[in-house]
Structure 1
């Protein structure tokens, strides 16, 4: 490895939101992300870096990606339906648009660069829309009940069946699991290159997607960052990022040796 990468932890970008927050004696707008994402990445051996919405980076995301070894797209408010050519449902709640623009551009560029990517809840929806897919704007309209979001601020639970041999199933080590659920939107039409590899039981809502042509690009509708003692998916993301970092360092070392 080069002196810039030897012994370095893989840097994992974690997208955050701008929210009204309170800390110490202050109450103001702040860039926030749930600590569970940070702890999971850190405990897996990664270096978590918060990525707040940034329109300037959305214009040239490749420059930001040069400094990352992996990307986690986190939960949050609904995507603007205009981003996938739809009109808003009365239950759709969106932000100011900057986070959408930033994350959609960053996600698309990360997939193109074959960076390890994991989308969680809103993040799986970002992954799908970034690649040209669409969303179900209000899941209860489709399934007829509130099981995917039984109460605001509280996780529900339901079963998910995974496709045998898929990246998500192999990483988790099971084909049927119970998940932490808190969403009212979901993947509808799949984006380019994506396949559905997990569906909720018994209603068949898409819960996991992946890009078979990439090393590790996947998304899950459930909150894997809440799993204990650790999230297999977040741990695997960090491991894939570590391997990618080592490969790039070896290639750089080889190029340097040839040039000497």
Structure 2
């Protein structure tokens, strides 16, 4: 059986065929295709803050990109260019905290890395151009920025990325304080590009969009970690 990877998603108006602006649960297919190519079975998870029971059916969790995390969650006021989605914050935090408690493999992409940071007690910069003086992390509408990152020797992300350190990003917020997470990657302007959890078997956040290139180094590592968990659970059940 393929490991089942849950992917968080939006609820937004969408148009197709004869249907116009119909509220829809969706996520860019790049995420689904990246998980599928890595050997996983993708399941799209709409925002739902009632409980985290769906985790019992999952082997891994992928926190997808999207809108800004509500600054109130890290004790800050909302700045003019910050756009939040309370439904995603509420639903994803329920899943994330339960997944951390269960030591479920987690990959956070862009917003997902920021959500990991906030859940770990950290905080965010709300508009990077004001801090950095440039817009290379989000050069234009629908246009990915491209640059190289540096990674901490011996970190999980350094081992995964190898010699190819080119990343593709699209974000205007970034990590200010990682909380209890460990920063393991940086852009050349010093902005954190990856974080890892020191006490979980696989919790990785990246500020860029690896789904853009269907990067099998990252999605493969998530699926592999989920597969290991499947085997451990199967062995535990057999021993009962």
TM-score bucket (shorter structure): over 0.9
How many Å apart are 1:231 and its aligned residue? 3.0
- In the other structure, the counterpart of 2:76 is 86
Gaps of 5+ in 1: 1-7, 256-260
- In the other structure, the counterpart of 1:197 is 184
Gaps of 5+ in 2: none
Matched ranges for 1:61-210 at <5 A:
61=52, 63-95=53-85, 97-174=86-163, 177-192=165-180, 194-201=181-188, 203-210=189-196
Aligned-partner Cα distance in 1 for 2:34–2:17: 25
CA contact (8 A) 2:37 2:216 kept: no
- In the other structure, the counterpart of 1:17 is 10
Aligned-partner Cα distance in 2 for 1:45–1:144: 41
Structure whose CA Rg is larger: 1
TM-score, normalised relative to structure 1: 0.89
Tell me the SS of whatever aligns to 2:146: strand
How many Å apart are 1:89 and its aligned residue? 1.2
- Match of residue 212, structure 1, among 175, 181, 198: 198
RMSD: 1.1
2:31 aligned with 1:31:
no
TM-score, normalised relative to structure 2: 0.96
Tell me the SS of whatever aligns to 1:208: strand
- Runs in 1 of length 4+ with deviation above 4 angstroms? none
- In the other structure, the counterpart of 1:4 is none
Tell me the SS of whatever aligns to 1:12: strand
How many Å apart are 1:212 and its aligned residue? 2.1
Q: Which string of whole-angstrom CA distances, capped at 9 and with x for unpartnered residues, describes residues 82-101 of structure 1?
A: 11110011111112x11101
Tell me the SS of whatever aligns to 1:218: strand
